[in-house]
Chains A and B, each alone.
Chain A
Amino acid sequence: MTYRKPTREETTLINRALGRWGVFEFFKGRSLVIQENGSKTVCLVPGGLEAVMHMQPYLAGLAIGELKKQFVPSMAGADLFARSGKRNEFYVTVNENAEKLVLYGRDVMGESIVEASDTLGENELVIILNGWLEAIGIGRTRFAGRSLLQKGKATVTTLMDAGYYLREEG
């Protein structure tokens, strides 16, 4: 595993994403590096670790997401964003029943959504929140605006969920 500073293009992509998730201000002055291991993982790292970064750490700081065509947050990243930023239209809140299901990787039914922005489009990446406004998953909308709330249909596909830690670790 190797670590390096993001290129200018990568920095642009990351900053755009941080703006999207309402955490641009939170990340100002913080250090981000790219971990290359087949994929490109963006890691939030503490300052002062320069001496060990050349020793190819297994993990440096917190992996907040992956750079593909766009920046896709990890669960740890989504959790940090939800706690640290200004929640905006890209956050969808679900009820307690849906929370349990999302944590098993299940999709979100329209009637389980407690709050979603009218301006949210179809095929948008969203962070799924529980009633405590904590990130429980990352999803992609199947519908736009009020159609997200339609009953009897899965309207947000769950891509990742916080239960992943246990399933993977186990």
Chain B
Amino acid sequence: MPALTLIFPESEESTGLAVRYDYDGWLVRRFIEYVPDVQNFMGKMERPPTQYIRVNTLKTGREELEGRLRSKGFELKRTAIPEVLAVKKAPMSAGATNEYLLGHYYIQDLSSCMAVDALDASENHAALDVAAAPGGKTTFMAQRMNNAGQIVALEPNEKRVRSMSFNLARCGVYNTCILRMDGLQAEKLQSKFDRVLLDAPCSCEGVIAKDAKRKTSHTPEDVDYCSSRQDRLIEVAARMVKPGGILVYSTCSFAPEENEMVVDRLLKKSGNISVEPTKHGSSGLTRFGDMAFDGQLKNARRLYPHMHDTTGFFIARLRVD
């Protein structure tokens, strides 16, 4: 059974921050435990997050897109991921240009692209995207695979599947099959994959800057629920990986119960999985409250809005032997 979400005692600092920024107290008390420089972090969450676009190299090149958008008045800045550009100034919505309609780019946070970067998928791979809609990571995978190999994308929700199919068509992706299926049922596929991405449904703590309702709308029970479901999903996802293959587990939450603890439990159960280092972000936690995790968790990565200018995110690259 997954552990229940840890709640910490009130302090003058936590009460002050909760009042100042209109958060539920329990959430701030937890942030103090696992977010570095929490004052700066909470200030950053009040400001609109940087918008990023990902160049769709299946249709255009970075330089060409930069030129076309700059001629319309956009100011763009390159990032650590070559295909991703930060939008510093936009004379119109990034979703309203002809280039967007023609699928030359996808509006996607840098952190999401880092998860796909960690997957390191290439042309000869068979890949599985376990919780795929709306398709941002799937289309980036297809792009990194040069529209070759095969991607199987799973999504149970009909409306989200439809929206995903539009995104794939707009981006010109043809190496992907979408199945209406819950990730927990993935073993029905009776196949194993070189690369598996599980961007798990989560409590979305990391996107508070985009959706301020989350300051008060979720509860410790929601974290418990997500953590329990993530445990089941990651076990299935790990079984879908070919020996020697890679599973990337990610969430847009900061909660250790949804991140390090999920991976830690998998490591303890499996015995054939290791956490490999990835390029971007801060080290994963190896302790939380009175718990100690497998030392390999330091290889997992945490992305913090105030430190990495992304939405909050967690990425673990797992090798399955």
Chain A positions within 8 Å of B, measured between CB atoms, are 44-49, 51-53, 55, 57-63, 74-76, 79-80, 83, 99-100, 103, 130, 134, 136, 162-163, 165-166, 168-169
- 27 inter-chain pairs at a CB distance below 8 angstroms, sorted by A residue, are A45-B174, A46-B148, A46-B176, A48-B126, A49-B150, A51-B190, A55-B189, A57-B177, A58-B161, A59-B177, A59-B178, A61-B174, A61-B177, A62-B169, A62-B174, A76-B169, A76-B170, A76-B172, A80-B174, A99-B98, A162-B98, A162-B102, A162-B170, A163-B101, A165-B169, A165-B170, A166-B95
Q: Which residues on B sit within 8 Å (CB–CB) of A79? A: 59, 102-103, 172
Q: Which residues on A sit within 8 Å (CB–CB) of B272? A: none
Q: Which residues on B sit within 8 Å (CB–CB) of A48? A: 126, 149-150
In the bound complex, do residue B172 and residue A62 qualify as a contact, i.e. CB atoms below 8 Å apart?
A: yes
A-B contacts at CB below 8 angstroms, number: 90
A127 to B84 CA separation, bound complex (whole angstroms): 31
Q: Which residues on A sit within 8 Å (CB–CB) of B177? A: 45-46, 49, 52-53, 57, 59-61
In the bound complex, do residue B174 and residue A51 qualify as a contact, i.e. CB atoms below 8 Å apart?
A: no
Any A CB within 8 A of the CB of B21? no
A83 to B149 CA separation, bound complex (whole angstroms): 20
Any A CB within 8 A of the CB of B163? yes
From B172, B174, B179, B180, give the contact of A46 (CB < 8 A): B174
Q: How large is the interface on B (under 10, 10 to 19, 20 to 34, 35 or more residues)?
A: 20 to 34
From B59, B166, B189, give the contact of A52 (CB < 8 A): B189
In the bound complex, do residue A162 and residue B168 qualify as a contact, i.e. CB atoms below 8 Å apart?
A: no
A95 to B287 CA separation, bound complex (whole angstroms): 61
Given A58-B165, A63-B169, A76-B169, decide whether A52 and B175 contact each other with a Cβ distance below 8 A.
no
A49-B150, A63-B169, A165-B101 known, 9 other contacts, Cβ within 8 Å:
A45-B177, A46-B176, A58-B178, A59-B177, A62-B173, A75-B169, A83-B59, A136-B102, A165-B166
From A55, A61, A169, give the contact of B176 (CB < 8 A): A61
- Interface-centre pick from B98, B175, B179, B189 (highest chain A CB count, 10 A): B98
A52 to B95 CA separation, bound complex (whole angstroms): 33
Any A CB within 8 A of the CB of B152? yes
Any A CB within 8 A of the CB of B188? yes
A165 to B169 CA separation, bound complex (whole angstroms): 8
Q: Is the interface of A mostly helix, strand, loop or mixed?
A: mixed
A100 to B174 CA separation, bound complex (whole angstroms): 27
Q: Which residues on A sit within 8 Å (CB–CB) of B165? A: 58-59
B93-135 to A contact mask, C-beta < 8 Å, 1/0:
0010010011100000000000000000000001000000000
B130-154 to A contact mask, C-beta < 8 Å, 1/0:
0000000000000000001110100
Q: Which residues on A sit within 8 Å (CB–CB) of B103? A: 79
Given A130-B98, A168-B166, decide whether A61 and B152 contact each other with a Cβ distance below 8 A.
no
Q: Is the interface of B mostly helix, strand, loop or mixed?
A: mixed
Q: Which residues on B sit within 8 Å (CB–CB) of A46? A: 148-150, 174-177
A58 to B161 CA separation, bound complex (whole angstroms): 8
In the bound complex, do residue A134 and residue B150 qualify as a contact, i.e. CB atoms below 8 Å apart?
A: no
A162: nearest residue on chain B (CB-CB)? B101
In the bound complex, do residue A169 and residue B163 qualify as a contact, i.e. CB atoms below 8 Å apart?
A: yes
A102 to B177 CA separation, bound complex (whole angstroms): 30
In the bound complex, do residue B102 and residue A134 qualify as a contact, i.e. CB atoms below 8 Å apart?
A: yes
Q: Which residues on B sit within 8 Å (CB–CB) of A51? A: 189-191
A63: nearest residue on chain B (CB-CB)? B169
Q: Which residues on B sit within 8 Å (CB–CB) of A61? A: 174-177
Given A136-B102, A168-B166, A169-B163, decide whether A52 and B179 contact each other with a Cβ distance below 8 A.
yes
10 nearest A-B pairs in the assembled complex, by CB-CB distance: A62-B174, A76-B169, A46-B175, A59-B178, A57-B177, A58-B178, A169-B166, A59-B165, A61-B174, A165-B170
In the bound complex, do residue B174 and residue A58 qualify as a contact, i.e. CB atoms below 8 Å apart?
A: no
Q: Which residues on A sit within 8 Å (CB–CB) of B175? A: 46, 61
- Interface-centre pick from A59, A134, A136, A166 (highest chain B CB count, 10 A): A59
